[in-house]
Amino acid sequence: MCEDTYYTTGGIPVLGEKFPEVEVKTTQGTIKLPDHYKGKWFVLFSHPADFTPVCTTEFIAFQKKYGKFKELNTELIGLSIDQVFSHIKWIEWIKDNLDVEIEFPVIADDRGDLAEILGMVSPFKGNNTVRAVFVVDDKGIIRAMIYYPQEVGRNIDEVIRLVKALQTSDEKGVATPENWPNNEMLKDKVIIPPASTIQEAEERKKAAEKGEIECYDWWFCYKNLE
């Protein structure tokens, strides 16, 4: 299935590496990753199994927030070690019983090939995938990963916040504080990367004196998001 293997079998990928080139079978046909989403970001998330309560609540939440992901030029794609007919039947069940239509594709990784490459299966957690989240940018680079155990459902708003923070960092060359844009100290302001030279440190002090930026010290400066 995989044209290239970037990672040690059973290991976890490294941030900054390109997402492995794979061809996958989904509920919307066969697609190639990451090329299928070229020019877009995508969030690949795994769930332990179809027809399970926690996974059902997550799929509904992802679907209801799908529009917010799209506003961020970001697509969703699910995955579990189930066959495609199981995915299709489960999606039908969600629509018929909970009145939610799942619009994003779901990978049928029935042999567990991609799950193994991405380190989604823990030897201590059985044969199903854990609740992994991979945020991949518009160049096919893995930018973030989150792993949850099977028994704990994810916070979809946090995934949206993560994507938005990464895109803001890329676009503006800044960092974002804890729980941005709702940080207790800085509110929705962003952090200017620390100075790397003495001259730069002095320039930060002068900029703060002029009111161009705010600083607790030259290594901790912040500003409004422009």
Span 100-121, pLDDT tens digits: 999 999 999 998 899 999 999 8
Provide CB contacts within 8 A for 46, sequence distance 6+: 78, 79, 80, 115, 118, 120, 129, 130, 131, 132
DSSP 133: E
Helix (H, G, I), strand (E, B) or coil at 146: strand
Whole-angstrom distance, CA of residue 92 vs CA of residue 131: 22
Nearest by Cα to 109 from 78, 135, 138 = 78
Give the pLDDT score at 122: 84
What stretches of the chain show up as alpha helix (H) in DSSP? 53-64, 66-71, 84-98, 113-117, 156-172, 198-209
Whole-angstrom distance, CA of residue 166 vs CA of residue 169: 5
Say which of 2, 55, 215, 221 is annotated catalytic. Answer: 55
Which residues of the chain register pLDDT less than 50? 1-10
Give the pLDDT score at 34: 97
Give the pLDDT score at 124: 85
Determine the number of helices (DSSP H) and then strands (DSSP E) in the chain: 6, 10
In order of their start, the domains of the chain are 22-154 (3.40.30.10), 173-226 (3.30.1020.10)
Q: Is 131 known to sit in a ligand binding site? A: yes
Give the pLDDT score at 127: 83
Tell me whether residue 221 is one of the annotated catalytic residues: no
Put simply, whether the predicted model's pTM sits higher than 0.85 gets the answer: yes
Q: Which two tokens stand for residue 15?
A: 């941030």
Give the pLDDT score at 4: 45
What are the φ and ψ backbone dihedral angles of 77, each rounded to 5 degrees?
Answer: -150, 125
Please give the angle made by the CA atoms of 75, 45 and 49, to the nearest 5 degrees.
130
Give the pLDDT score at 125: 81
Sheet of 74-80, strands arranged across: 29-33, 22-26, 106-108, 74-80, 41-46, 131-136, 142-148
